[in-house]
Amino acid sequence: MANSMYVPLTQLPEDLAAMSVIVEEVFREFGVTSPIAKFDTPGRDASFLRNFVLVEGQDPQARCWVSFSECSTDISERAGYNNMADIQTRGAWNFAALVAYALCKYAGYVVRNDGGELDGQVTYSVASLRAVLLQRL
Q: What's the residue count for the chain?
A: 137
Contact status, residue 70 vs residue 49, Cβ threshold 8 Å: yes
Contact status, residue 84 vs residue 71, Cβ threshold 8 Å: yes
Q: For strand 36-39 and strand 3-9, is the pairing parallel, antiparallel, or unpaired?
A: unpaired
pLDDT value for 50? 65
Burial of 85 (0-12, 13-18, 19+ CB in 10 A): buried
pLDDT value for 45? 53
Domain total of the chain: 1
pLDDT value for 114? 84
What's the whole-model pTM score?
A: 0.91
By residue range, what is the domain housing residue 79? 3-136
What is the average pLDDT score of the chain?
A: 87
- Sites in the chain below the pLDDT cut of 70: 1-2, 39-50
